[in-house]
């Protein structure tokens, strides 16, 4: 039996011939109280794994939509410790859905890599995706993550060379996050046939499941992507919805559900 929640979930999906639907939301956006209900809502809509954003003040790999999400979260008082607590709260009612914390390195350094990994694992976090920590810069965070049984998810891009793909393929665990476009989160163009070819090619170097993010906006995108990859990661379109409901946060959980349900449906009827 595989030992992490992410690996178990990926194997179960594979066994049933389904693909992973992975929503991304920012913890604390726009208020800390809406995050746990939003997480439960996306699971009800069919999410298999949740990527929970750890807000950072200077998210230079993200587009303006996600940066505003992070700013709202920071302004609402969300901290890295608060993100961990949010996961503990979520775990009270859901012990199955894997959680990946996604963010930037500096807040983790500020807390201390070991303290952070221990706290995250104890809270029920399953994986970490640190956007600005490529395998070349692995430090004490990697060791701490491994000691605490956390998967480390790395990114691959259309421009990633074969040589680096091998390095990344060895480093990543749980799944590989393929950034489907050149550019930042929330970019508009998505060439789905390119993505299919590239994913097929990457499988030569990468043994873990490959999930694809950046540019997936609707059910059709999600279905096409997941016919080629092992999962679709949906972020900016959800953060945009949160932004639209910033004055009515109580409506956010259902609104996110309404975006994800058609995606789930399209992905499942796909294959």
Partner 1 sequence: MALTEQELRTLEYEPDTGGHFGDYGGRYVSETLMAALNELDHSYQNLKNDPDFQREFDADLASFVGRPSPLYHAGRWSKVIGGAQIYFKREDLNHTGAHKVNNTIGQALLAKYSGKPRVIAETGAGQHGVASATVAARLGLECVVYMGADDIERQSPNVYRMKLLGAEVVSVESGSRTLKDALSEAMRDWVTNVDDTFYIIGTVAGPAPYPQLVRDFNAVVGREVKWQSREIFGKYPDALVACVGGGSNAIGLFYPFLRDAEVAIYGVEAAGRGLSTNEHAAPLCSGRPGVLHGAKTYLMDNSDGQIAHTHSVSAGLDYPGVGPEHAYLKDIGRANYVGATDDEALAAFHEVSQIEGIIPALETAHALAYTKTLAASMRPNQTIVCNMSGRGDKDIFTVAKMEGISLT
- Active site amino acids: 51, 62
**Residues within window 2-61 making contact with partner 1, judged by CB under 8 A:** 56-61
Which of 246, 249, 240 lies closest to 218 in space, CA to CA? 240
Contact region with partner 1 (CB under 8 A), list: 17-25, 149-157, 220-228, 255-263 = 149-157
What residues numbered 69-88 form the site for partner 1, per CB under 8 A?
A: 71, 74, 79-81
**How far from the centroid of its chain's Cα atoms is residue 28's Cα?**
16
162-to-98, 103, 137, 252 alpha-carbon distances in Å: 30, 25, 19, 41
Residue 170 interacting with partner 1 (CB under 8 A)? no
Asked if 168 interacts with partner 1 (CB under 8 A), we say: yes
CB of 64 to partner 1, least distance (A): 7
In the complex with partner 1, the residue whose CB is nearer, 149 or 158, is 158
- Shortest distance in whole angstroms from residue 190 CB to partner 1: 14
Q: Does 128 bind partner 1 (CB under 8 A)?
A: no
Positions that interact with partner 1 (CB under 8 A) = 56-61, 63-64, 67-68, 71, 74, 79-81, 104-111, 131-134, 136-137, 154-157, 159-161, 164, 168, 179, 182-184, 187
């Amino acid at each position: 039996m595989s030992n992490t929640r992410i690996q178990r979930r990926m194997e179960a999906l594979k066994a049933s011939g389904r693909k992973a639907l992975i929503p991304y939301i920012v913890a604390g956006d726009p208020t800390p109280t809406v995050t746990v209900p939003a997480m439960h809502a996306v699971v009800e809509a069919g999410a298999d794994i949740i990527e929970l954003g750890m807000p950072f003040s200077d998210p230079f790999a993200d587009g303006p939509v996600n940066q505003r999400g992070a700013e709202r979260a920071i302004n609402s008082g969300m901290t890295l410790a608060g993100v961990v607590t949010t996961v503990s709260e979520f775990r009270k009612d859901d012990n199955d859905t894997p959680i990946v914390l996604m963010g930037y390195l500096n807040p983790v350094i500020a807390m201390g890599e070991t303290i952070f990994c221990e706290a995250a694992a104890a809270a029920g976090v399953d994986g970490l995706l640190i956007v600005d920590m490529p395998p070349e810069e692995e430090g004490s965070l990697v060791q701490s993550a491994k000691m605490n049984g956390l998967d480390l998810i790395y990114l691959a891009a259309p421009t990633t060379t074969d040589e680096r793909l091998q390095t990344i393929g060895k480093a990543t665990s749980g799944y590989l996050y393929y950034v489907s476009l050149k550019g930042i989160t929330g970019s508009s163009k998505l060439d789905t046939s390119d993505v299919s070819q590239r994913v097929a090619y990457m499988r030569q170097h990468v043994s873990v499941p490959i999930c694809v993010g950046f540019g997936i906006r609707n059910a059709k995108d999600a279905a096409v992507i997941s016919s080629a990859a092992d999962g679709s990661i949906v972020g900016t379109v959800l953060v945009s919805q949160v932004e639209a409901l910033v004055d009515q946060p109580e409506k956010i959980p259902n609104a996110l559900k309404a975006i994800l349900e058609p995606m789930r449906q399209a992905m499942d009827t796909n294959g």
